[in-house]
Structure 1
Amino acid sequence: MTASSPTPRKALLIVNPTAGHYSEKRLTGFVQHLERAGLTVQVTKTRYQGHAADIVQNRPPETDFIIAGGGDGTIAEIAHAMMENPCPLSLWPVGSANVLALELNIPFSDAHNATLIASGQTRTLWPGWLTTEGQTSPTLFLQMAGIGLDGWVVQQLSSTLKKRIGRLAYALTALRLPFAYPFPAFETCVDGRTYHSCLTIMSKGRLYGGPFRLFPHNHHEEPGFSIFMLHRLNPLALLRQLLAFCCRKPCPDPAVSYIKGQTITCSGNKPVPVQSDGDFRGMTPCCIASAPTPLQIICPTRNQPPSEGRSFFRRYSLNIEKRRC
């Protein structure tokens, strides 16, 4: 009598077909890698904003885990829908920036990523909750939220341009800031202490805008956030922080603050744009806090450094070449 082979684990792959680095050819290849790794894969593509959440809520009951295919915004939407009925989440980073994948050292090679997903090794991630003006329930984010200049850039970003040139679209949109953005100041209250700022960034991780390190530590496995605040519009201060940002060296300046916090509220005389994980979320006033429960995400062990710098750009170039083939 021969022993029966184990039943293949069943994965639901939810894909955003408008993601910056998605292609049908790449999807076919990734599914083949997953099947070679011993998984049974069901593929569902999103058709409209919010569709990913509907797919998660109506997923087959025998689903062992979900693979989120897209950028940071798509991943956050899927993760949010999984909070009420959790199972392990894994990532297929095919978005424009893929900051969370870089932070968690997810392989950008589809073959290596399929092997990682099949291994099933997980880490606990503690997301953030964001509530903006008029929202009846909070929005989950996994990497970061930005208020002020940051939110305005995402609000004004052309989805067509983002699809065409990726992260460069953010930089081109930011060039319009001096001519189109009024730079209103607002109050940021962190754990009861109030600051004046024109830009506030709350992050669970270290990376910002791709492979660039903004904070020294991450808070993915615990409640709380790293917080950056620009208190006043000072071109010299911005230039110094940009150089420090690129050189990864601290640059103390009274125009900026780096602190940690648990609960953050932002408000002011005028509404200010808010974004999280690269998607526009509305206007202030807003409140940021930790989600009530953590998520399990399939990724390498935490003692490995985030994928950043030159190795990221090499992988990015390889992905572009694959799309051209």
Structure 2
Amino acid sequence: MKITVIYNPAAGGGREALLCRFVAELEQLGARVRLYHTTGPNDATRYLNELEDQGDCVVAVGGDGTTNEVLNGLAPGVALGVFATGTANVLARELGLPKKPEAAARVVVCGKSVSVTPARLNGRRFIMMCGIGYDAWVVDGVNLGIKERFGKLAYVLAMLGQIRRYGERQYRVTVDGRPLDCFSAIVTNGRHYGGSFVLSREANILRPQVQVLLFQKPGVRFLLRCLSALLLGRMERVDGVASLRAEKVHIQCEQAAEPVQADGDPAGHLPAEIVVDDAPVPMRVPETFLP
């Protein structure tokens, strides 16, 4: 098995020792490994686009942002593997991927492949989620220095810093042709958010549809109810939160050039055109993984 490993040394403050154990186990299992260290944003995508032969599988070693870059450079038919060493690692939680490097390597070599259908945000693929409003403001406001040193604390501080702004912008979200208004929105391909939290029990990463959560009431009290519900995995039970399946979503805001986030990183500004991709990606998961 020919494997290309893409390692982001900036993700999670760096995990060089874990990377060495991961690669050593891949080779022990008989894989031929090509290793690349990224040098900056979008370098993984550029590197993969320039490769004539990516191998049988490309493994992203880093966080969800690293996986997003690998996804956008992945050649058709090549499997995607993940060894999560980032901050939130939402995709790894979604797919039940192990944290230890030796176990993660065994999943890549000895596991199975399942078809995951990404979505596209203004033409660029994302595998877990994108968001506008409060969700995007938080991602946009994360202090990267604090994130590198203290991990998830950076997101907590950004959340606290953006709470009072919630409700100041209104968005028009067109879900499969149906126009709806909201004050924030998250378009998700999977159930999890921020790591272990369950955002949507209706979402299914193996289904060629996304789940659209619309936050349709303004006010800080409503937002705090939503955040409390997220901790309990009951977001879709909150009065004022609408949850809909979709294949195509258009989002706009007439008030300002609002930011968008995708897979936990800034991803430009509105308007946003989100469509389910027409090409599923084979992803390496444990043999015990169940849809």
TM-score by length of 2: 0.93
Q: Distance in 2 between matches of 1:300 and 1:199?
A: 35
Residue 86 of structure 1: CA displacement? 3.2
Partner of 1:308: none
Partner of 1:284: 270
Question: In the TM superposition, what are the counterparts of 1:8-157 in structure 2 within 5 Å?
Answer: 9-20=1-12, 22-59=14-51, 61=53, 63-82=55-74, 84-131=75-122, 138-157=123-142
Give the 3 Å change call, closer, same or farther, for CA 216–178 of structure 1 in structure 2. Answer: closer
1:49-84 CA-partner distances (Å, limit 9, x unpaired) = 1211122123352722111111111111111111x4
Say which of 223, 243, 246 aligns to 2:231. 246
Q: Unpaired segments of 5 or more residues in structure 1?
A: 1-8, 132-137, 306-325
Give the 3 Å change call, closer, same or farther, for CA 149–302 of structure 1 in structure 2. Answer: farther
Q: CA RMSD in A?
A: 2.0
Q: Distance in 2 between matches of 1:161 and 1:62?
A: 34
Partner SS for 1:20: helix
Paired letter, 2:126: F
Q: Distance in 1 between matches of 2:103 and 2:269?
A: 40
Partner SS for 1:184: coil
Q: Which has the larger radius of gyration?
A: 1
TM-score by length of 1: 0.83
1:79-138 CA-partner distances (Å, limit 9, x unpaired) = 1111x443111111011111001000011111111111111510100001001xxxxxx1
Give the 3 Å change call, closer, same or farther, for CA 254–248 of structure 1 in structure 2. Answer: closer
Give the 3 Å change call, closer, same or farther, for CA 231–87 of structure 1 in structure 2. Answer: same
Residue 219 of structure 1: CA displacement? 2.9
Say which of 155, 165, 187 aligns to 1:170. 155
Give the 3 Å change call, closer, same or farther, for CA 32–79 of structure 1 in structure 2. Answer: same
Partner SS for 1:274: strand
Paired letter, 1:89: L
Paired letter, 1:291: D
Partner of 1:228: 213
User: How many residues were matched structurally?
Assistant: 290
Partner of 1:319: none
Say which of 166, 180, 189 aligns to 2:174. 189
The answer to whether the Cα contact below 8 Å between 2:82 and 2:92 also exists between their aligned partners in 1 is yes
The answer to whether the Cα contact below 8 Å between 2:95 and 2:289 also exists between their aligned partners in 1 is no
Paired letter, 2:277: A
Percent identical among aligned pairs is 30
1:202-238 CA-partner distances (Å, limit 9, x unpaired) = 1010001110001113332232111111113233322
